[in-house]
């Protein structure tokens, strides 16, 4: 019965570790001097924060792929849209400190001779408005896309191709200088966030803690969904959509809802990612980024939630290691080999395989502990 609870032992352990990391890393960065062996350098705080944002993105993909069977190869688009919404707010905070010292127009608009601020940039000087746009823009796009795609019963590889085409179309659009988002260079040279220097040590630590908090909230929301009746219907849609429709459930409504929620989570991940890396440009829309995010989920374990986060952290740690020094040219080979090895040797992923083996051991232990019933007496002995 414990496995039916919203937070079982594994989920609780994951949350405890996440909260501990979210508290310990900022404290070790701020409270200990750089000469101390316990000090966590600021650059590592930013790097770990980026990993946590990737973990939230992977969690959003696992929610739709692992439980609803929706394989999106364009989820990086929602991540990038959330990042651009936050980047627009950060650009409006620069003011006269930019290269051209224009109090209203960002530097790239002055350079391109824009006469005035476009209407879709209005109100982005307010954090609350940017925070709403971080979820509203990706969520609206996902809702509209899902409404047409799922009502038309587009599934499988066709849906994956359409999502990839969507993110590629956005990539081409954001590359244009007349689109109003900085073209190829994107948005960068950020100064402040909520009045605090975005490069300051304390701000970096706060952003890391906020990323961990967002991941924890996203994880709890996902667990609440997948352990409820709603989650059981999602799994039924994943395994037998036609039969689920026959039972009277509107599969498209469930898929639209979970797809929209997943996009909002990806948008939040992108918004937290941008101030920590200091830039957002059209390369974030690259279909390769979305495919790589799917690999994170596959490596960690599709349909496990915790596995998606662990896979994102492990693969990106490997990427950081292999893209420095002499190993840099071989990273794509390592990534491809990792995906092939997991597919052939660990089809359930790291966490999925661990859970499977633990369940097998539990069942074997329960069978071994069961009392052996006494043999029945022969009929002839019973008659005596």
Q: What is the pLDDT of residue 354?
A: 87
pLDDT of 373 reads 63
State the pLDDT at residue 340. 84
pLDDT given at position 343: 78
Q: Choose among 207, 206, 241, 273: nearest CA to 60.
A: 273
Q: Note the pLDDT of residue 73.
A: 94
Burial 252-273 (b: 16+ CB within 10 A, else e): bebbbbbbbbbbbbbbbbbbbb
Backbone angles phi, psi at 197, to 5 degrees: -60, 120
pLDDT at residue 377, as a whole number: 53
Contact 25, 48 (CB under 8 A): yes
Residue 372's pLDDT is 59
CA 71 to the chain's CA centroid: 14
> What's the pLDDT at 383?
44
pLDDT of residue 309: 96
pLDDT, residue 1, reads 38
Mean pLDDT per block of 10 residues along the chain (384 residues) reads 64 94 96 93 95 97 96 95 97 92 93 93 96 97 96 92 95 92 93 94 96 97 95 95 93 96 97 96 94 93 94 92 78 81 83 85 76 56 44
Q: What is the pLDDT of residue 50?
A: 96
**How far is the CA of 40 from the CAs of 33, 36, 125, 207, in angstroms?**
9, 9, 33, 15
Q: Which residues on neighbouring strands pair with residue 279, listed in sequence order?
A: 188
What pLDDT was estimated at residue 375?
60
């Amino acid at each position: 019965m414990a496995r039916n609870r919203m937070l079982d032992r594994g989920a609780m352990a994951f949350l405890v570790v996440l909260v501990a990391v979210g508290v310990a890393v900022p404290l070790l960065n701020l409270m200990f001097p750089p000469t101390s062996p316990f000090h966590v350098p600021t650059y590592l705080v930013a790097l770990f924060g980026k990993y946590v944002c990737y973990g939230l993105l992977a969690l959003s993909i696992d929610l739709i792929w692992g439980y609803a069977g929706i394989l999106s190869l364009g989820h990086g688009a929602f991540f990038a849209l959330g990042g651009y919404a936050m980047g627009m707010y950060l650009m409006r905070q620069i003011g006269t400190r930019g290269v051209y010292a224009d109090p209203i127009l960002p530097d790239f608009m002055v350079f391109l001779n824009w006469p005035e601020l476009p209407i879709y940039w209005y109100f982005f000087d307010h954090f609350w408005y940017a925070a709403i746009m971080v979820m509203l823009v990706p969520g609206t796009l996902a809702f509209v896309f899902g409404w047409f795609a799922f009502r038309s019963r587009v599934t499988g590889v066709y849906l994956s191709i359409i999502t990839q085409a969507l993110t590629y179309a956005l990539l081409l659009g954001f590359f244009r200088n007349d689109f109003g988002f900085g073209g190829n260079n994107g948005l960068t040279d950020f100064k402040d966030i909520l009045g605090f220097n975005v490069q300051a040590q304390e701000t970096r630590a706060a952003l890391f803690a906020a990323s961990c908090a967002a991941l924890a909230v996203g994880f709890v929301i996902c667990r609440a969904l997948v352990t409820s009746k709603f989650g059981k219907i999602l799994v039924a849609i994943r395994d037998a959509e036609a039969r689920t429709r026959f039972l009277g459930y509107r599969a498209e409504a469930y898929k639209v809802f979970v797809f929209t929620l997943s996009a909002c989570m990806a948008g939040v991940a992108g918004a937290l990612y941008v101030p920590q890396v200091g830039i957002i440009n059209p390369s974030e829309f690259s279909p390769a980024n979305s495919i790589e995010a799917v690999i994170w989920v596959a490596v960690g374990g599709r349909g496990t939630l915790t596995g998606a986060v662990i896979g994102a952290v492990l693969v990106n740690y490997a990427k950081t290691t292999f893209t420095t020094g002499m190993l840099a040219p071989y990273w794509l080979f390592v990534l491809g080999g990792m995906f092939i090895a997991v597919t052939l040797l660990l089809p359930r992923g790291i966490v999925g395989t661990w859970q499977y083996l633990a369940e097998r051991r539990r069942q074997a232990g329960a069978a071994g502990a069961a009392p052996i019933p006494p043999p029945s007496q022969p009929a002839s002995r019973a008659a005596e």
